[in-house]
Amino acid sequence: MKVVVPLAEGFEEIEFVTIVDILRRAEVEVVTASLEKRMRKGKGKGKEKGEEKEKEIGTVAGSHQIKIVPDAVIDEIDPEKFDAVVLPGGFPGFVNLGEDERVLDLVRRMDKAGKYVAAICGGPSVLIKAGVVEGKKA
């Protein structure tokens, strides 16, 4: 089984880590996917001309500012290669997930293909927005 967990700024850390930890302990392949473009950690130009400083890039900050380095970017995710999508909650994380058309499309495509679609905390509001809950026991 292969599961994708989309990750947006403001996610709830304990929900995200618990989802990923439990699934990986069960030997399920989990891919975490950021909504932001992939960037590498390195030196970047500061505000002053020629100034270089270490920038922390390529991470996603949770609602309590714990930073996670995702495995992929949402644009790299092919729903056909996954068996499930799980959405963590957290504020404003679930709002950010629900405002991203790529996430809504991923959820719709996974649901249409009969794959598992799951969410925790505020995450179900994304499922509602994607239109995949109507007529189902949820």
DSSP string, 1-50: -EEEEEE-TT--HHHHHHHHHHHHHTT-EEEEEESSPP---EEEE-SSTT
Query: In tens digits, what is the pLDDT along the chain, a chain of 138 residues?
Result: 999 999 999 999 999 999 999 999 999 999 999 998 755 554 444 455 555 544 445 789 999 999 999 999 999 999 999 999 999 999 999 999 999 999 999 999 999 999 999 999 999 999 999 999 988 876
Domain 2-39+52-130, CATH among 3.60.20.30, 3.30.1460.30, 3.40.190.10, 3.40.50.880:
3.40.50.880
Q: Return the active site residues.
A: 121
Q: What is the pTM (predicted TM-score) of this model?
A: 0.84
What is the number of alpha carbons within 13 Å of residue 65 lying toward its C-beta? Answer: 1
Residue spans per domain, the chain: 2-39+52-130
